[in-house]
Structure 1
């Protein structure tokens, strides 16, 4: 649809508004057609990520009722638990492999493995608790009141991992040095700009989302718990 709309405008310009104006003063620009279609594609990709952060009213009411049945955990405690878990991963890298290598790729692989171990495997075998949630004295349960299944923990892990992975990918592209005369240089520039734009939008939405959750004082779930159908509950 984005391509068709852009093609409609470009065709309108070159035909002099389909013959109504006999002297067309604009041209058919293929670059405009490509850029407009690419913009529609990026919007199509980014939209589901943003929509996942803002649930529908019906789902919000249903999950709010579930939250009322359990002890609410302050949103600041939930954030601190995630931060503690992530810093444990960073510290473990600095005290182990980080002492012997400065490879960004090795660091990303190590942190990715540790991330899914800490946010997926550990709560799966530890009754919905990570090290961070245990320190702050709460755990994760499924909205039906049972233990969190691996599918929910996997969704939560991916939701938490996406912002970090996007930042790491951008750093990798920034570190690539290409000659301006290289045939790949324009693709490198556009890819880097697209990732950067996505990252800016994502972090801006995450900041607004976090601010709303803090204002609501735990009456709404963070997006990573919402998409996974999980509820934080005091032990």
Structure 2
């Protein structure tokens, strides 16, 4: 009976090694690893757990060493019969890839979600203070606060979802699939905010009226032209970037998600 248990002790190790190594010709490795592990057991016993106890409670048994090693080898040889009851490693990898693919959010859906959130900011202004106030600076402050609420506060309170992502049934997650930390949310919000704030800055510049005889008029014109030129280049780059990401069909991420380490995933709940 003791001999049978010694064989069974490392039999699971042999089965696992066959599954891990995926090659029947590696039986020598299984035998060697089984022998090494059994030798570790015997040395641990004969030394009294390496001196923790004053004397060993068992002797070094060569028979145990042989039987344990044989059990590992036997497990390696009969592994196909046991592993046939479980999904193969290849099938598990295929299933994993399908699950991951099923969670990929198409780039157009991601852009549409950003656009929906963006329009919420603009519509809220038009239906509230925009009805009574036509001041560029007040509008800028209001929409800046709107960006903060829509792209930062809402996803923090709603487990990684904004209004746009909620409508399109996906959520923002970190690399582990968990709700992103506030730092990542803020980076994403800021990355989306920068193109808009630069465009808004141009609107504020053009709204400033200076007399042509003013000493600042020339500087104002040059600054406006410089900002306009920069914005043209920036938006061209962003358009090219968006086209490239869309063409990759979810294999690449938009700059704002890349910068923040956020991954959009379908909401499976």
Question: TM > 0.5 between the two?
Answer: yes
| Equivalent position of 1:50 in the other structure | none
Work out which of the residue numbers 135, 145, 154 in structure 2 matches 1:113: 145
| Equivalent position of 2:165 in the other structure | 133
> Separation in 2 of the partners of 1:88 and 1:148?
23
Work out which of the residue numbers 160, 166, 177 in structure 2 matches 1:145: 177
> Separation in 2 of the partners of 1:70 and 1:225?
19
1:176 lines up with 2:208 in the alignment: yes
| Equivalent position of 2:246 in the other structure | 214
| Equivalent position of 2:9 in the other structure | none
User: CA RMSD of the aligned region, Å?
Assistant: 1.7
How many pairs align? 170
Calculate the TM-score normalised by the size of structure 2. Answer: 0.60
Q: CA deviation at 1:85?
A: 0.7
| Equivalent position of 1:99 in the other structure | 131
- Report the secondary structure of 1:233's partner residue: strand
> Separation in 1 of the partners of 2:128 and 2:118?
16
> Separation in 2 of the partners of 1:184 and 1:102?
25
- Report the secondary structure of 2:171's partner residue: strand
| Equivalent position of 1:201 in the other structure | 233
> Separation in 2 of the partners of 1:68 and 1:159?
26
> Separation in 1 of the partners of 2:121 and 2:217?
35
Query: Where do 5+ consecutive residues of structure 2 fail to align?
Result: 1-96
Alpha-carbon displacement from aligned partner over 1:68-110 (angstroms, at most 9, x marks no partner)? 5771100010011011111111111111111211112111111
- Report the secondary structure of 1:140's partner residue: strand
Q: Which has the higher contact order (CA 8 A, sep 6+)?
A: 1
Q: CA deviation at 1:151?
A: 0.8
Calculate the TM-score normalised by the size of structure 1. Answer: 0.69
> Separation in 2 of the partners of 1:136 and 1:121?
19
